[in-house]
Amino acid sequence: MTRHGVTSGQGHPRSGREPRSQRSRRDPSLGLLRTVAGVTLVLALSDSVALCAPIGAHLLPAQGYPAKFNGIMPQLQNGWWNLTCPACKVIFSVINYGLKKEPNVARLGSVVIKLCKVLNIAPPNVCQSAVRLFEDDMVEVWRHSVLNPSEACGLLLGSTCGHWDIFSSWNISLPAVPKPTPKPPNPPAPGAPVSRVLFLTDLHWDHDYMEGTNPNCVDPLCCRRGSGQPPSSQPGAGYWGEYSKCDLPLRTIESLLSGLGPAGPFEMVYWTGDIPAHDVWQQSRKDQLRALTTVTDLIKKFLGPIPVYPAVGNHESTPVNSFPPPFIKGNYSSSWLYEAMADAWEPWLPEEALHTLRTGGFYALSPRPGLRLISLNMNFCSRENFWLLINSTDPAGQLQWLVGELQAAEDRGDKVHIIGHIPPGHCLKSWSWNYYRIVARYENILAGQFFGHTHVDEFEVFYDEETLSRPVAVAFLAPSATTYINLNPGYRVYHVDGNYSGSTHVVLDHETYILNLTQANAPGAAPRWQRLYGARETYQLPDALPASWHNLVYRMRDDERLFQTFWFLYHKGHPPSEACGSPCRLATLCAQLSARANSPALCRHLVPNERVPAALPSWSRPPFC
């Protein structure tokens, strides 16, 4: 793996990992496997509890989750959340003892399945399928990596139970070219052309969606074949989707695409991934590829010749979040997925883009004169991508590649749009801090950043690194197409300074469209996609530049009604019935300021009381992805 220009920090000795060949010589001892079972269990099921909110950017106490949310996440109450530290260590000792007697992967899996059932982490069928699905990849990862029980329990239960430090720090090197003086873009001249860019994310097509089934089943995903019938007093899943832990039937995605007319015309489409459903405990590679080709074909059918630029989501692979960096070869590699993507997306992407897509799931291209579009594979920043336990230092050399692309764009006088799935504030710390530094360095040419993954409608403001006070960029996090969890289906349209000589290519405004499910599922109704709101009009913004979003956060801090508007739109017009009280409000606002992980200082001005930032890590927002 190339590490050109990347330097490791002074962190954990594991960061300078030796080549695979050296490692494997001393490797697959029983000791290496001692924690496999427990961590397999945790990571296999972590997606169903959706560990996807930004670290350190959360202010909502765990017990502050709405009751409805608790009701649909039974595993949170009954699972390993309840483990005490001594119990965790006892369990790992037992597993260790068992593994010393039996290093066989299948038997190891059986132990984990039993534990999963005994601890009531998930329904028995989910325990069985999830562990069988994850065990091979996880053991392969652990064969390259070492984890001791203290670290495992530290990961599971927090720093009071052990020290988790497997992701050490590292630094990207920036070119010696001095940073140009920061210069905000000039507003476009009156009457200058404006382009509309359709933004689709998190479609999450459920092949097994079935009207009338139980929306509140025990599995992590419901409204589907196998969910059973609802109790006679409760309605079953709606025809177009459901407000519950459910994904979308294909007909709703088809309806979305066929109803785009009034929102267009579009110059291009950004599509930031998560195509398959959340039935992560039972997905095969064949299932994932069927989702990829079915939805890609549908988009081609309805959008015709409009160019579509995709990014890779964390649900595209199976096991979910499993994205080995390119140094992993053979059957464990991601080539089964990237090759299929390159085939499916070949009409939209030039050859050089297809080349990097095949290797690492990322690419760059020039969709119009003066604009470079960079599609990042954010799975290489993800704390849920367990392959990064082997080596998390700039996986696939992607950030160093990004710097090269940005410098070349600066040299040419081009502007840049970045698209990706997982937003930068949700990334592993080192990746996130390096990305933040890169954004600050290239603030003059970064005209737009577009992400998804959280399923809700929000944004992340970037600041200059010296003072953390001057807004230098904003990343838009668009809401999902899927209803998961308790949301209306929706999509986003960005208004971008148009395709003409001298364009700034910046985002001028955005609009969000939804399908009101209550109305659509009513007897005799037809689905009606409607404009939910326009950003500048609703929030009274002078423009859509970073400073306006920064100001909006502080205006919402002081204006309860304005915040409640944001809260309603954040959930695509279907907010939880429980009100968002002070801690929830603070958590939500803090997240909009946290484009960098583990940076409580970014929220220091939200409340005058200096105690609050110190308390941030113990607060969190309920995640949806």
Q: Which is nearer to Zn ion, 205 or 549 (CB)?
A: 205
Distance (Å, rounded) from C-alpha 81 to C-alpha 72? 16
Task: Give dist(CA 22, CA 44) in Å, integer.
Answer: 28
Measured between alpha carbons, how far is residue 74 from residues 50, 244, 319, 347 in Å? Answer: 13, 13, 22, 44
Which residue number, 46 or 168, has a Cβ lying nearer to Zn ion? 46
Judged by CB under 5 A, which stretch of 71-79, 84-92, 103-111, 314-322 contacts Zn ion? 314-322
Could you tell me which stretch among 205-213, 231-239, 449-457, 494-502 binds Zn ion (CB under 5 A)?
Answer: 449-457
Determine whether the annotation assigns residue 274 to a binding site.
Answer: yes
If one asks whether residue 625 binds Zn ion (CB under 5 A), the answer comes out as yes
Is 453 annotated in some ligand binding site? Answer: yes
Q: How far is the CB of 292 from Zn ion (least distance, A)?
A: 15
58 is in an annotated binding site: no
- Of 114-122, 185-193, 381-389, 448-456: span binding Zn ion (CB under 5 A): 448-456
- Rounded-to-10 torsion of CA 101, 102, 108, 111: -40
Contact call for residue 453 and Zn ion (CB under 5 A) = yes
315 is annotated as contributing to ligand binding: no
Give me the 271-310 binding string for Zn ion, x by CB under 5 A, dash otherwise: ---x------------------------------------
User: Where does this chain touch Zn ion (CB under 5 A) — which range of 247-255, 258-266, 313-321, 337-345?
Assistant: 313-321
Location of structure tokens 């944004």: 459
Is the Cα torsion angle 24, 27, 32, 33 positive or negative in sign? Answer: positive
Cis geometry, peptide bond prior to residue 265 (ω within 30 degrees of 0): yes
Minimal distance, residue 277 CB to Zn ion, in Å: 10
Burial 417-452 (b: 16+ CB within 10 A, else e): bbbbbbbbbbbbbbbbbbbbbbbbbbbbbbbbbbbb
| Residue 456 or 606 with smaller CB distance to Zn ion | 456
CB distance 289 to 338 below 8 Å:
no
Residue 163 annotated as lining a ligand binding site:
no
- Closest alpha carbon to 201 in 118, 107, 114, 295: 295
The two structure tokens encoding residue 423: 């937003």
Q: Which stretch binds Zn ion (CB under 5 A): 18-26, 28-36, 270-278, 606-614?
A: 270-278
Burial 329-358 (b: 16+ CB within 10 A, else e): eeeeebbebbebbbebbeebbeeebbebbb
CB of 314 to Zn ion, least distance (A): 4
* CA distances, 79 to each of 27, 74, 121, 281 (Å): 32, 8, 4, 16
Supply the minimum distance, in Å, between the C-beta of residue 108 and Zn ion: 29
Q: Which positions ≥6 away from 566 have C-beta within 8 Å?
A: 539, 556, 588
Give the C-alpha separation, 95 to 109, whole Å: 11
Query: Is 314 an interacting residue with respect to Zn ion (CB under 5 A)?
Result: yes
CB of 417 to Zn ion, least distance (A): 20
Q: What are phi and psi of 77, to 5 degrees?
A: -75, -35
- Contact between 308 and 348 under an 8 Å Cβ cutoff? The reply is yes
Smallest distance, Å, CB 13 to Zn ion?
32
The rounded distance, in Å, linking the Cα atoms of 496 and 476 is 13
Q: Is 316 in the site for Zn ion (CB under 5 A)?
A: no
**Minimum CB separation from Zn ion for residue 313, in Å?**
5
Question: Which is nearer to Zn ion, 314 or 449 (by Cβ)?
Answer: 314
Judged by beta carbon, residue 170 or residue 491, the one nearer Zn ion is 491
Instruction: Say which amino acid occupies 165.
Output: D
**Nearest to Zn ion of 202, 443 (CB atom):** 202
Which of helix, strand or coil describes residue 564?
A: helix
**185-204: contacts with Zn ion (CB under 5 A):** 202
Angle of helix 560-570 relative to helix 582-593, nearest 10 degrees, comes to: 70
Closest to Zn ion by CB, 20 or 207: 207
Q: Which is nearer to Zn ion, 140 or 202 (CB)?
A: 202
Least distance (Å) from Zn ion to the CB of residue 353? 22
Size of the site for Zn ion (CB under 5 A): 6
Contact letters for Zn ion, residues 20-59 (x by CB under 5 A):
----------------------------------------
* Binding to Zn ion, residues 556-575 (CB under 5 A): none
Pairing of strands 371-375, 415-419: parallel
Q: For Zn ion, which is the closer residue by CB, 52 or 506? A: 52
Does 318 interact with Zn ion (rule: CB under 5 A)?
Answer: no
Extract the annotated binding site for Zn(2+).
202, 204, 274, 314, 421, 453, 455
Contact positions toward Zn ion, by CB under 5 A? 202, 274, 313-314, 453, 625
